[in-house]
Every structure is written in C-alpha cells, then in structure tokens.
Chain A
Amino acid sequence: MLIKSIGMACILIGATTLGWCIDRIQLYRIEDLEGIRSILYMLHSEVNYSITPLPTALREIIDKSNSRVNCIFTRLLSLIEDKTSESITVLWEKAVKSELPKTYLEEEDKKTYYPLDKPLDTWTRRCRRKT
C-alpha cells in the first residue's frame, strides 16, 4: 500500500512538474515571440520614420529592449560590424542559427521571421513613397 502511495505520488509530482515545465517553456516561448515582435516593430519605426541606418537602429533597439531575444539582434549587429560583405539574409540566418538555442523559440518560429531582408526591402519602398 505504502509503495503504491509513493508510486502514485511520484507519478502525480512527476506529471505536475513536467506539465509545469512545459507550461513555463510555452510561456517563455510566447514571451520571446512577443519580444521579437516588439523589436521588429521598433526596428520598423526606426527605419520607416527616423530613416536610421540599420546598425544604429539595432544598437538603439538593443539598448531599449530587455527581451531574451536581444541576443539574436546583438549577434546580428556584431556580424554587420565585422564587415564580412555577406548579404543581410545570410547574416540574419547566421545570427538566428547561433543564438536560437539561447532562447525558447522553436525551429518553426524561425520561418515567421525569415528572411529579414524582405521586411527591410518593404520598409525601404514605403519609406521611398513617403520621401
């Protein structure tokens, strides 16, 4: 009886912990998705309204945001500053690949924000229409 009770307790505690952990992970994932969305919104504003060059815009946004996904943009900025002459798509892919494990984002989330040069191109065209 005692063994059965201990077994039940273990199953209950284990299942609860596992559920709690999955819940946390999903919550953090949502937080990260919201973080990345808010950073992209800020980037959009910097590009569209202030016409701030991308490296400066990234630097300002990294300072403003305290999201976990900041690491992706910090990595992107350092890659831009390395002057490797690779396209922004390649640099974005590299930044995401190296920093994604540090966040709670999943592989499928990558597709949502791939590639960065497309939104940049769209913003540029909108910007051109305004000026």
Chain B
Amino acid sequence: MYIKESITNSLGHRLKGIFSKVEKEDFHKIYEIRIRTNQPIIIYKESGECFIRSNGQYTLDRKKAVIARDEDIKNTLEMMSNYSMYAFEEELRQGYITIEGGHRVGIVGKVIVENNTIKSIRYVGAMNIRLAHEIVGAADKIMPYIYKDNASIYHTLLVSPPKCGKTTILRDLIRQISEGSALKQGQTVGVVDERSEIGGSYMGIPQNDIGPRTDLLDGCSKVDGMLMLLRSMSPQVIAVDEIGKKEDLYAIEEVLNAGVKIVSTVHGTNLDDIMKKPVLKEMIEKEFFQRIICISFRRGPGTIEEILDGSSLKDCKVVS
C-alpha cells in the first residue's frame, strides 16, 4: 500500500480532505506529522519543518496553516482504530498505536492511572504520526562488514541517535540476512518487535518486507521474546531494536550461549557515548558484539559514520 493511501485512510474526514491534496511523492519525504489540538499541524520533512494549508500546500507562515480541532483528533483516532478504540487499549497504555502500513502514532492526553500503573489514555490532545519508510537496500553498505563467511554473520550493534534511520537499516539488514543471495545463504531470523516498528505489523501481519525466513514476535517484550524465540523457533539470528536495560544483558547472554547471532540497535551518537551507559559498557567490555556500526544524519538519514571491530574497538573501515 502506498504511504499516501495508508496515511490518508487513517485520518479523520477533514484532515483526509487536506492531505489528499498532497502529492503522492511528497509523502516519501515526510518523517512526521504532528497534530495538536488548537495548534497548527506541523510536518517534518527532510528539509525541515513546515505547516500545511487547507489546499494541501506547505507553508512556513503559521497564520495560513490549518489548525487542528478537537474533533479532528477524535475522528482520526476513530479511523486509525477502525472504529474500535477498545481493541487498542494495550497499545494506548504504551502511548502509541501502530496503523496499517506500519506507521507508528504516538499519543498524549489525560493518562488514567490505577494502582500506580498506567491504565489508558483518555482525552487525547495530540498525536505524532511517524511515517514508516521501507527502504530496500538501506543496509547495502554495511552488509559486507557483517558477514563472517557465507553462512554466518557477526554479532552486530547499530548505534544511532533517534530519527537517523537505524530501524530502517535494521529492517533491511534482517531482510537481506533472511533472503540471502547467490553467494550468501539465507538464514532463519527471529525478530522481537516490541514496538511494531521493524515489521510494522498490523493485526499480527508484518506490513514491511522482512524476508522469507523471518519469524516475528510482535508487541512482545525483548527479554521474553528473545527467550521464546530461542525455545520455540530455533533461529540462527535474533534481531531486536533499542536495547539498553539490565534485563536485556541477561537475555542477550542467553542468546549468545545458545550459539545464535544477535543483531541489535541502541540509542547513542558514537562508541564513547554508549560506553557511558553501564549496561552497554558491560556488553561491549564482554565483547558481546563483534561489529559496532555508528550511524548519523550528517549526510541525510542512514549515514554510516564508522564500523568498529568489537574486540579491538578500532575501525574495520571508515565509509566516507
């Protein structure tokens, strides 16, 4: 499904009318659409942020921007949930829902707390639609560095700040490992997709191409998911997004002990930055990862800054 189609189908009646006027190609350049009650709708693109006018044109003039109304958010939520908000209670508790096309919608509003735990969010005041861009070939540059031989890969860690494309690269990495090629054997990949970002699953079905040998656990916690996959699906590679908690250390250790390769991502700018985090420092010192790949936004999303060897912590090769 085209990005435009999946986004406009998820918007309320008035917003659908406005966004339908935006060119189909323009949706590929949009990263985020932020809708706040009584505030102008803001669009984040590669070139920066802008507002949208009622004729679907972009503007930098706030006075000409479309102001989101309360009912716009209400109708949009109704559409996003397919008139079934009750079915998204668990996701709402986490503060986001995933819509058709794998786009993630962050939600804020009045949080209902019961016994010190978040029960749900009511009176949604704002939402952030993060458009999932599936870029086939995003991991092409790093593929030669992560293959140990034709049949196995290195334990790999992708390091990147938010919005630099680490999940997009991870997704393509999973697809390529799973698919294999004429020279490289395709491998069984188990993916724990805690926040439905990798597969972009909607109703349990991955919306993104993650390869023919990939088993995806959607909405499952990383620790439980990794152990479940180990026990049940006998993967050759396990992929997870955004590690960093203490529990992750234990689960990754289990994965490594089972002889399964791990591919993971973490928030950070470079090696020094992640070494400041105790859990990651321990993982790197114990040489959990054989390849550490740092990604930035310097030349647009997915710029490969350095590819380090996990034991020497020196450059494998700098891609300029």
Listed in ascending order, the chain A residues whose CB lies under 8 Å from chain B are 47, 51-55, 80, 83-88, 120, 123-124, 127-128, 131
Contact = CB atoms under 8 A, between A and B. Distances in A.
B75 A51 contact: no
Given A87-B78, A88-B78, A124 B85 contact: yes
Contacts of A83: 9, 79
B152 to A, nearest CB: 41
17 contacts: A47-B84, A51-B89, A52-B87, A53-B81, A53-B203, A54-B84, A55-B83, A80-B83, A83-B79, A84-B13, A85-B11, A85-B79, A86-B13, A87-B78, A127-B89, A128-B119, A131-B90
A51 B86 contact: yes
B82 A85 contact: no
Contacts of B62: none
Interface string B109-143: 00000000001100000000000000000000000
Interface in B61-88: 75, 78-79, 81-87
Nearest to A86: B13
B281 interface: no
Contacts of A55: 82-84
B34 interface: no
Given A87-B13, A131-B90, 8 more contacts: A53-B82, A53-B84, A54-B84, A88-B78, A127-B86, A127-B89, A128-B120, A131-B89
Nearest to B100: A83
B87 A53 contact: yes
Interface of B: 9, 11-13, 16, 75, 78-79, 81-87, 89-90, 119-120, 203
Nearest to B122: A128
A80 B86 CA distance: 17
A85 to B, nearest CB: 4
A80 B82 CA distance: 8
A89 to B, nearest CB: 10
Contacts of B81: 53
A121 to B, nearest CB: 9
B302 to A, nearest CB: 32
Contacts of B16: 85
A87 B82 contact: no
B82 A54 contact: yes
Given A85-B75, A87-B78, A47 B86 contact: yes
Contacts of A80: 82-83
Given A85-B12, A85-B16, A86-B13, A123 B75 contact: no
A48 B13 CA distance: 27
A54 B9 contact: no
A47 B83 CA distance: 11
Nearest to B75: A87
A123 B85 CA distance: 11
9 tightest A-B CB contacts, nearest first: A53-B84, A124-B86, A85-B13, A85-B16, A83-B9, A54-B84, A53-B87, A54-B83, A127-B86
- A51, A85, A87, A123, most chain B CB atoms within 10 A: A85
Contacts of A51: 86-87, 89
B142 to A, nearest CB: 38
A87 B11 CA distance: 11
A87 B82 CA distance: 10
A83 B84 CA distance: 14
B9 to A, nearest CB: 4
A120 B84 CA distance: 9
Contacts of A47: 84, 86
- A52, A83, A88, A120, most chain B CB atoms within 10 A: A83
